[in-house]
Structure 1
C-alpha cells in the first residue's frame, strides 16, 4: 500500500513539474566576429570532455626560439593569454549555472511518531500512531522556465564578454607586434647613424691632422658621435621593452624568440569613414546589447513570475498501531500574497531594463566617436607616411649624399654635413613613426568594426 502511495505521489509531482525550458543551454554560442576567427583560440574544457573544446590544440602552439611572425604571435596569445582563458572559464561556470537553474526542487520526506508514553489514568491509554509524509514544492507562474531563460542569456553575455576580450587581445598583440617591428628598425637606424658618425669623425680627424680644418670641428664630430651612441643605447632598451611587451600577451615573462619578422612599409588605400561606419554591426560591444536587453527583459519576466506563490503538495500514510489501520494523508499549502507580491523586485528589473536601453544608446555613441577618432589617426598617418616616402626621403637622401661628398672635396663645412645627416635620419625616423602609427590605427579600426580593414594587404 505504501508503495502504491509513493508511486501516485511521484506521478503527481512529475505532472505538475514538467521539464520546461530545456533547450537554451544546448544552443550554440554567439558567432565569433570575422576578425581573427580563422586563428585558434582557447576555450575551457567542458565537463567529461577529454580534449579542450577549442578551435585548435594548445599543445601544438609553442613559442618560437627564432623569428616570430604576426600570425604566430596572435595564435600564441589567443591560446595562452591568462585573461582570455579566465573569460572562457566564466562561460563554463555560467553554463553550469544554467543547468542548476533548470533543476526541480528536491522532495522532502518526513516521519513522526505520536502519542507515545504512559498514561496516568487506566481509562486513558495512549494510541501510538506513525506518519510517513512526502512533500514537494511546485513552482507556479513558470518560474523554472523563466529562471533558466534568464540564466541562459547571462551565459550568452559571458560568451560576448569572451568574444570582446578576444578581439581586444587580437588588437593588443597586433599593436605590440608593430611596436616591436618599429623598435627593430629604429635600432638598425640608430646603428647606421653611429656608423656614419664614426665615418664623419674619422674624416674630420684626418683633415684636422692635415691642417685643412680647425680642431673645433673634430670636437663637434665627436659630440655628434657621442649623441648618436646615446640614441642607439636608448633604442636598444626600447627594443627590449617591446620584446617583453609582446611576449607578455601570451603569458611569457622572458621572450624566447629572437626577433619579429614583418614589413612595416606595407600600406593599403583606406576606405571612407562612411563605409567604415556601415560595418559597425560586427562590433562586439554593440552586438552584445541585443542579448543584454533580452536578458533584462527575461529578468522582468522572472520577477513577475515570483509574484505568484508556490504550491507545496504533501502526501503520506499514517498507521495506527493499536488497530493496525493505515490511512492516507493528502494536503497542500499556498502562501497568501497579501503583503509581498514582489513589487520591489519587479520595479527594480524594469528600471534596469530602462537603464539598459540608455546604456545601449550610450555605447552606440561611444563606438561611433571612437571610430571617428581612430579614422582621423589612420588617415593622418596614411597621408604622412605616403608623403614622407614619396617627397621627403628621396630629397633628404640626395642632399646628404651631395653634402657628404662636397665636404670631402672641401666645398662644405662640417655643420652642413651634420645638418644634412640630422635631416636624413630625422626624416627616416619620422617615416618609421608614421608607418607604426598607420598600423596601430589600422588595428584600432579593425577592433571597432570587428573584421579586417583590407583582406588584400596592409598587414605588417
Structure 2
C-alpha cells in the first residue's frame, strides 16, 4: 500500500513539474523587442546628440570658410599737437577710407575644401555613433535576455529540487531509503533556491542596465523567442571591407589631411590689401585722394614648416587608412568564423544535447521513484541537465554577441548623397 501511495505521489509531482515547465504565465504587455529597444535608445542617446551637434558645427564651419575677409575702416589724423605751425589743429591732415584685403593663392577654395572634408567626416561620425549605439544596446539586450533565461532555468531547477525532496521524503517514510537521502535532497533544494535568488538579482541588474540605455524602465517581458532562435549560417562569403564605416572614416581622415596640405600651400602666398581714402587738409580746407597697397613680407615665417607639418599629417592619415583596410578585412574574417562556430555550438547545445540531457534526467527521476536507480544516479543526471541548460544559454548569448559584432564591422557607410544632405 505504501508503495502504491509513493508511486501516486511521484506521478502527481512529475505532472506538476511538466506543467510548470511547459506553461508560462501570460503577460498582459507585449514583449520588449530588440528593435523597439534600439528605437528607444536612439531617441535619448547622448552619443547621437553629440554626433549631430558635430555635424551642425561642421556645416557652420563650411559657411564660415566661404566668407571673404572683411574690409577695414581706416581713419587717421596727422600733423597735430606739435610745435610752431603744427600747434593745435591748424595744419592737421585727416585721412578716412577703406582697406580691402584681397586673398591670393586660392585660400578661400582651400578653406572650403577643408570644411567640406570635415563635414563629411562628421556625418560619417554620426553613422559610427549609430552603429556603436546599436551594438551596445544589442549586447545589453542579450545580457538581459540571457539573465532572464538563467532565472527561468534556476526556478525550474528549484522546482525539481523541491519535488526531489518530496520524493525522497516519501521513500524514507516508506522505508525504501535512508534519511540521508532526504537530508541530501534538502541541501540540494536550499542550493537551488539560493541560485534563484542570485539569478533574480543578476536579472534585475541586467534589466536596469538596459533601462538606463533606452531611457525607460523595462517592466514587461523580453523577446525570449528571438533569443532562442539561431539563424542558419552557411559557408562564410568573403566580405569586402571597402564600403564599411571603419574604412569610410579612415578615408575621410585622409581626405581632410590632404585638404589641409592644400590650405597650407595657399597660405604661403601673401595677400594684398588695397586701400582708398580721402584726405582733408585743415590749413587749406582741400581734399585729396589717397590710394595704398600693402603686401606682407614673409621674412620669419614663409609657410614651409606649416606645409611640412600638413604633409606629415597627410602621410600619417594615409598610412592609417591602409592599416584600417588590413585590420577590417582580418576582423571581418575572424568575426564570420566566430558567428559560424557560435551558431553550431548554440544549435547543438540548445537542440540534441539539451534534449538528451532532459530525457536522461526524466528517466532518472522515474527510475529513482520506482527504486530502480539510486539517488546518486538521479543527482548526476540533474547536474548534467543543469549544466547543459546553462551551456545552452551561454552558447546562445555568445552567438548573438558574435552576430552583433559582425554586423557592426560590416555596417555600410553612408552614400555620398546622404553625406551631402
Q: TM-score range by the shorter chain?
A: 0.7 to 0.9
8 Å contact 1:150–1:298 — kept in the other structure?
A: yes
- How much does 1:256 deviate? 4.4
Structure 2 counterpart SS, 1:68: coil
Q: From 178, 181, 187, give the equivalent of 1:217.
A: 181
8 Å contact 1:107–1:135 — kept in the other structure?
A: yes
Q: From 402, 407, 416, give the equivalent of 2:377.
A: 416
Tell me what 1:267 maps to. Answer: 230
Tell me what 1:381 maps to. Answer: 342
TM-score normalised by structure 1 residue count: 0.79
Tell me what 1:340 maps to. Answer: 301
Alpha-carbon distance in structure 1 between the residues aligned to 2:207 and 2:306: 52
Alpha-carbon distance in structure 1 between the residues aligned to 2:75 and 2:294: 18
- What do residues 31-64 of structure 1 show as CA deviations (whole Å, max 9, x unaligned)? xxxxxxxxxxxxxxxxxxxxxxxxxxxxxxxxx9
Question: Structure 1: which 5+ residue stretches go unaligned?
Answer: 1-63, 452-460
Kindly indicate which of the two structures has a greater share of residues assigned to helix. Answer: 2
Sort the Cα spacing of 1:296 and 1:272 in 2 relative to 1 into closer, same or farther, 3 A: farther
Deviates more, 1:260-269 or 1:232-241: 260-269
Alpha-carbon distance in structure 2 between the residues aligned to 1:353 and 1:373: 30
Question: Structure 2: which 5+ residue stretches go unaligned?
Answer: 1-27, 413-421
Sort the Cα spacing of 1:121 and 1:83 in 2 relative to 1 into closer, same or farther, 3 A: closer
Tell me what 1:371 maps to. Answer: 332
Tell me what 1:85 maps to. Answer: 49
Tell me what 1:161 maps to. Answer: 125
8 Å contact 2:92–2:283 — kept in the other structure?
A: yes
- How much does 1:299 deviate? 0.5
Q: Map residues 25-36 of structure 1 onto 2, 5 A cutoff.
A: none
Alpha-carbon distance in structure 2 between the residues aligned to 1:140 and 1:125: 41
RMSD, aligned CA: 2.3
Alpha-carbon distance in structure 1 between the residues aligned to 2:346 and 2:401: 13
Alpha-carbon distance in structure 2 between the residues aligned to 1:276 and 1:388: 28
- How much does 1:267 deviate? 1.7
Please tell me whether residue 257 in structure 1 is matched to residue 219 in structure 2.
yes
Tell me what 1:195 maps to. Answer: 159
Tell me what 1:132 maps to. Answer: 96
Tell me what 1:436 maps to. Answer: 397
Q: From 291, 296, 314, give the equivalent of 2:252.
A: 291
Deviates more, 1:283-292 or 1:197-206: 283-292
8 Å contact 2:280–2:288 — kept in the other structure?
A: yes
> How many residues align structurally?
384
Alpha-carbon distance in structure 2 between the residues aligned to 1:125 and 1:181: 89
- How much does 1:119 deviate? 5.2
Q: From 111, 114, 131, give the equivalent of 1:150.
A: 114
Structure 2 counterpart SS, 1:259: coil
Alpha-carbon distance in structure 1 between the residues aligned to 2:169 and 2:118: 75
- What do residues 245-286 of structure 1 show as CA deviations (whole Å, max 9, x unaligned)? 21222345xx2433322422222222433x2423x3332011
Alpha-carbon distance in structure 2 between the residues aligned to 1:383 and 1:434: 9
- How much does 1:65 deviate? 8.1
TM-score normalised by structure 2 residue count: 0.86
Alpha-carbon distance in structure 1 between the residues aligned to 2:274 and 2:98: 8
Tell me what 1:353 maps to. Answer: 314
Sort the Cα spacing of 1:241 and 1:209 in 2 relative to 1 into closer, same or farther, 3 A: same
Tell me what 1:68 maps to. Answer: 32
Q: From 393, 398, 405, give the equivalent of 2:359.
A: 398
8 Å contact 1:396–1:424 — kept in the other structure?
A: yes
Alpha-carbon distance in structure 2 between the residues aligned to 1:165 and 1:330: 55
Tell me what 1:304 maps to. Answer: 265
Alpha-carbon distance in structure 2 between the residues aligned to 1:408 and 1:267: 37
- How much does 1:289 deviate? 2.4
Alpha-carbon distance in structure 1 between the residues aligned to 2:269 and 2:163: 90
